[in-house]
Structure formats: C-alpha cells, structure tokens
Amino acid sequence: MNSTGDNEPEETSKSSGSARILALTICSAAIGGTFQYGYNISIINAPTLYIQAFINDTYVERRGTTLDTPQVTLLWTIVVSAFSLGGLLGALLAGPMAVHFGRKNSLLLNNFFLFVGAVLVLTCKLAKSFEMIILSRFLVGMNSGVSMNIQPMYFGESAPKHLRGAVTFSSAVFTAFGIFLGQVVGLTEVLGAEPFWPYLLSSNAVPALIQLLTLPWFPESPRYLLIDRGDREACVQALGRFRGGEAPILEMEEMLQEQQQQQSAAVNSGSAAFAKTPWALFKDCDMRSQLRTVMVASSAMMLCGNDSFYFYASYIFLEAGIPPAKIQYVTIGTGASELTAAILSNLLIERVGRRYLLVGGYTLMCCWTIVFTVALTFQSHGVEGMPYLSMACVFAYILSFGLGPAGVTGILPAEIFDQAARPAAYMVAGSLMWISLFFVGMIFPFIVNNLGNFCFLPFLGVCFLSAVFLGLTLPETKGKTLAEITADFDRKNGRKKERIEKQMDKPIKDDYQLGTACSFSTLAQDPDPDLNH
C-alpha cells in the first residue's frame, strides 16, 4: 500500500518503526562486532602481571628453571601481538566472507572464533599451557578483524542516505564503549584480581552469545541482496523493514541502476562475478584516488599512536607521575573520554561532515602531542604540576582521536566505493590497519626507551602528514550519492577523464522520504528478466 501525505499518524508510526528496527539492528550487530574489538583491546591490560607469572610458572614446571625478565617480556609481547596478527588474517577473510555468506551471516559465523578462544583461555591453567593464551588471542583478533570490516559495510548499505554517516559511525561508538566496559570489568573489584583472569579474558563470549540470539531476527543488507545475490524480492522485504514497511522507490531505483552498472562492468570484463579482488582494485585506474585516500586514512588511524595508550596505559601514567594504586581508575577515564568523543562526533557527523571531523581530529592531535612533549620535558626537570598537565594531554589526545579518526576512517570505504569494490576496499583498509597496529605495538616500547620524553614525536609526524594529505585529497561525502562522490574525487584530484559508465538516466532526489515508497508487489517483479541471474 502506498503512503499518502494525508495520513500523518500512519507516517509517524512507520517512521518510528523504521527507526526502531534500524536501531535494534545496529545494537545487535555491534555488540558482537566492533564492541568486541574495543573490549578485547582493554581487558588484556589488567591481568598483565598475572599472565606473565603464569608463563613463568609454566616454564618452571616444564624446564625446572625460571625465565629471565627479557624472555618473559618477549613472550608477553607475543601474546599482545597475536591479537594484531589474528586481526590481519580476519581482515583478509572479511572480503570473501562478506561476498559468499552476506554481511549478517558473516557476523554470525564470526562468533565461532570467540567461542573457541574462550574455551582455550578457560582451560589453559588445567592444561598448563601459555601457548593456549597466544592462540586464544589470535582467534579473538580474527574475530575483530572480520567484524571491523563487515560491520561498517553492513551499516552503510542498510542506512538511508541522510543517516548513513551517523549509522556507520556507530561502529566507533561501540568500539569506545567496548574499551570503557573492558576497563571497568578489569578492575580488581570485578574480574581484575589474580584468580579471575581466565574469566576476564573469556568474558567476550557473553556479547557473542547475545548477538547469536538477536541478530538472526533482523534483515540482511538490501544492497547485498539485490546487487550481489540478484534477489529483488528479498531486497524489497529487507528495505521495507528498514524503512518502515515500504521500500522507497527512489532508493530502489538507485540500487537497480547500480546493479545494471555492475552487470555491465562484469560482462565487459568477461567476469562472471561482481565482486572485485584487491588486486583488481589496485589495477583499476578509476579507483586509484579513492584507494590511495583509504590506504592513508586506515594506516594513519593506527600509526597515530592512540592504541598505544591502551596497550601500555599503565606505563604511560607511571611516567606521567600517577600513583600506581590509582592507575586502574585513571585508565577508565581514557575509555570514558573516547566514548564521550565518539558519541559527540556521532551527533555532529551529519552536520559537520566527514572531512572536517577527520582533518580536524588529526590537527588537534598534533597540538596535544606538542603540549604533551613539552610537559614531559618540564616534568623530568621537576617542574610542579607537569604530571597533571601530561595526564590532561593524554585525555585530550584520546578525545581528539574519538572526534574524527576513530569513526570516520571506517565510513570511507562504505561511501566512496561501489558494491563490487567495497569488500576488496575493506580488505585493503583492514589489512593496513592491523599491520600498522602490530607495528606500533612492537616498536613503541623501543621508542620509549630510546626517545624518552620525546617518544610521541613520531606520532606527531604521522598526524601532521595525515591532516595535510586528507585535507588536500578527500572531498566531503556527506549526503551524496556514489556518482557525486566519484565526480568530486575526480575534480579534487585533477582528473578530467569522463567515466565510461553512464550516470543515472534521471536525477535522484537528495533525500529518500518514507512517504515516497513503492509496494512490495510492484518492485518484487522484475521488468527486465535479463537483469536477474
């Protein structure tokens, strides 16, 4: 049934129903998705000394001798780094999983890694094997690598255009929420005491179970159903649920046109599949500007040093002069800062835009890095009040990161690549993120040892170069269609070449309204049998 402008109560009901389904889908997908990334980054900090002691005790039982401090540190570094290596593998798996299983089913299957990891860490004491902790962290990293790529893809393809940024940015909000909650659960009064560390590391199975029980009730990505699977009937049903009962006809027209373009491109290339491989994406001259921008943004997100605060938070606050007994509570403040910034940015992103938040975030991080370095230098000379200024800089740095880079980076592949290139783009972006995270995690202790008070100057360089590069190359994507974004990229990067593919036959309105909808019966039928496989 088509809606009319005269039936305002019915439209209001549909709008609220649409918002409710979308909001519940976001919560269900994210609680077992990017929430897990933040949660598993933060819970590893509290049991550091206990796990190191377990590694040493296990080695004594096996060999009869103790490990010296550098050996224990090396094994601990392997435990921490296993998470990043698993994330890299998960990022590489995310693209094929998203194509073959769909966005929603991939997120559901992804929980398998967490459950196996939880079993391993719960039984490692009984088995007297610290290697099981390393394997568990590797599997947990795989889960995070998959979810950090597929979840923003799922959100970006399911949200209406005028809410696309805010919905996709919610991935960053749940990441920050995971960091904060992991810090709370890691308190000694909760699960941070010595006897409970296996339960702390395996507590990630609880949100995984919540997702398994709830996410199957919500729709798959409408774009995936139509363009990848060619199932128009399922697409109309899913889009109708996300939009309050009826599929907006203008939104369907845009998706149908993209489907036609993808089919034409596949025929011209002689390929039977829509989805591009990362190698094909690298060879595509038309996508080179977009790919370069995403690669820089994804690498900078980890190379900027923000996650060093979570891997090595205790050490940083000790250097800043915080009493050891108070560090676990101060660390909670870092998670609360990023969560606050992520929520604020989520409210601003559709007003301010992606580009300003991203470039502005890196610019503020540059400023706070300079102040932090000055504060640490004066602190080493005994100047009063500098420890508190150092601590304030840490919070300000994390706030600035949460305002832009933390969330906007994950939105970019969803907005600037088409359906065929999007999974491959997320594979490339995700791989660079995890490689960069691994790199920073490995070298940061050496940077601290060698540079001392100037240990954050390399991150200053990363933030400055990122702000300049993204400011020069990234156009604003807020509220724009893929065709408009592509044209902006061409203009901003000095490309005058005309696209081979035809743009839309008729203009699409800037916003899709719930009142402009089509019935299930009209769109479920295929007017052109050749479009469906």
Q: Residue 157 is encoded by which pair of tokens?
A: 């393809």
Q: Residue 375 is encoded by which pair of tokens?
A: 């504060």
- Shared domain for 321 and 416, answered yes or no, is yes
Q: Residue 459 is encoded by which pair of tokens?
A: 């991150």
Q: Residue 42: which pLDDT band, with cuts at 50, 70 and 90? A: confident
pLDDT tens-digit series, residues 370-386: 998 898 888 788 788 78
For residue 218, which phi and psi values (nearest 5 degrees)?
A: -110, 160
Asked if 66 and 56 touch (Cβ cutoff 8 Å), the reply is yes
Asked if 46 and 332 touch (Cβ cutoff 8 Å), the reply is no
pLDDT value of residue 471:
92
Please provide the average confidence, as pLDDT, over all residues in the chain.
83
pLDDT for residue 140 is more than 90: yes
State the amino acid at position 494 in one-letter form. G
pLDDT value of residue 427:
92
- Shared domain for 315 and 433, answered yes or no, is yes
Cα–Cα dist 228/219, whole Å: 15
pLDDT value of residue 245:
74
- Helix (H/G/I), strand (E/B), else coil: 527: coil
pLDDT for residue 141 is more than 90: yes
pLDDT value of residue 320:
65
Q: Is residue 530 part of a domain?
A: no
Which residues contact residue 114 at a Cβ distance below 8 angstroms, ignoring those fewer than 6 apart? 36, 139, 140, 143, 204, 205, 208
- Shared domain for 168 and 289, answered yes or no, is no
pLDDT for residue 270 is more than 80: no
pLDDT for residue 529 is more than 60: no
- Shared domain for 497 and 401, answered yes or no, is yes
Which residues contact residue 210 at a Cβ distance below 8 angstroms, ignoring those fewer than 6 apart? 28, 31, 32
Looking at the structure of the chain, the number of domains it has is: 2
pLDDT for residue 16 is more than 60: no
3-state secondary structure 164-231: HHHHHHHHHHHHHHHHHHHHHHCCCCCCCCHHHHHHHHHCCHHHHHHHHHHHHHCCCCHHHHHHHCCC
Q: Is residue 93 part of a domain?
A: yes
- Shared domain for 483 and 379, answered yes or no, is yes
Q: What is the largest CA-CA distance in the chain?
A: 83
Asked if 422 and 414 touch (Cβ cutoff 8 Å), the reply is yes
- Helix (H/G/I), strand (E/B), else coil: 517: strand
pLDDT for residue 532 is more than 60: no
Higher pLDDT, 385 or 70: 70
- Shared domain for 213 and 284, answered yes or no, is no
Q: Is residue 124 part of a domain?
A: yes
Which residues contact residue 422 at a Cβ distance below 8 angstroms, ignoring those fewer than 6 apart? 153, 413, 414
The percentage of residues in the chain with a pLDDT greater than 90, rounded to a whole number, is: 43
User: In this structure, how many other beta carbons lie within 10 angstroms of the beta carbon of residue 448?
Assistant: 18
- Shared domain for 337 and 480, answered yes or no, is yes
Cα–Cα dist 473/494, whole Å: 10
User: In this structure, how many other beta carbons lie within 10 angstroms of the beta carbon of residue 367?
Assistant: 15
Asked if 290 and 489 touch (Cβ cutoff 8 Å), the reply is yes
- Shared domain for 199 and 314, answered yes or no, is no
Q: Is residue 250 part of a domain?
A: no
- Shared domain for 206 and 307, answered yes or no, is no
Q: Residue 15 is encoded by which pair of tokens?
A: 């709008």
100-104, 195-199, 254-258, 442-446, range with the lowest pLDDT: 442-446
pLDDT value of residue 507:
44
Average pLDDT of 373-401? Answer: 84
* Highest-pLDDT range among 18-32, 89-103, 306-320, 342-356: 89-103
pLDDT value of residue 10:
46
Q: Residue 356 is encoded by which pair of tokens?
A: 């300003």
- Shared domain for 25 and 170, answered yes or no, is yes
Asked if 151 and 33 touch (Cβ cutoff 8 Å), the reply is yes
Q: Is residue 112 part of a domain?
A: yes
Cα–Cα dist 335/313, whole Å: 11
Residue 491's CATH number: 1.20.1250.20
pLDDT tens-digit series, residues 467-493: 999 999 999 888 887 778 888 887 766
Cα–Cα dist 192/45, whole Å: 9
Q: Is residue 1 part of a domain?
A: no
Q: Residue 171 is encoded by which pair of tokens?
A: 């991935």
Asked if 182 and 331 touch (Cβ cutoff 8 Å), the reply is no
User: In this structure, how many other beta carbons lie within 10 angstroms of the beta carbon of residue 62?
Assistant: 10
Q: Is residue 440 part of a domain?
A: yes
Cα–Cα dist 224/417, whole Å: 14
Q: Residue 307 is encoded by which pair of tokens?
A: 């996650």
Q: Is residue 245 part of a domain?
A: no
Cα–Cα dist 179/195, whole Å: 22
Asked if 442 and 77 touch (Cβ cutoff 8 Å), the reply is yes
User: Left, alpha or beta for 442 (phi > 0: left; psi -120 to 50: alpha)?
Assistant: alpha
H-helix or E-strand spanning residue 121: helix 111-127
- Shared domain for 28 and 161, answered yes or no, is yes
- Range(s) of the domain holding residue 393: 276-503
Q: Quick one: which of 83, 42, 37, 337 has its CA closest to 191? A: 42
User: In this structure, how many other beta carbons lie within 10 angstroms of the beta carbon of residue 66?
Assistant: 12
pLDDT value of residue 311:
57
Average pLDDT of 501-512? Answer: 42
- Shared domain for 205 and 332, answered yes or no, is no
Q: Residue 111: which pLDDT band, with cuts at 50, 70 and 90? A: very high
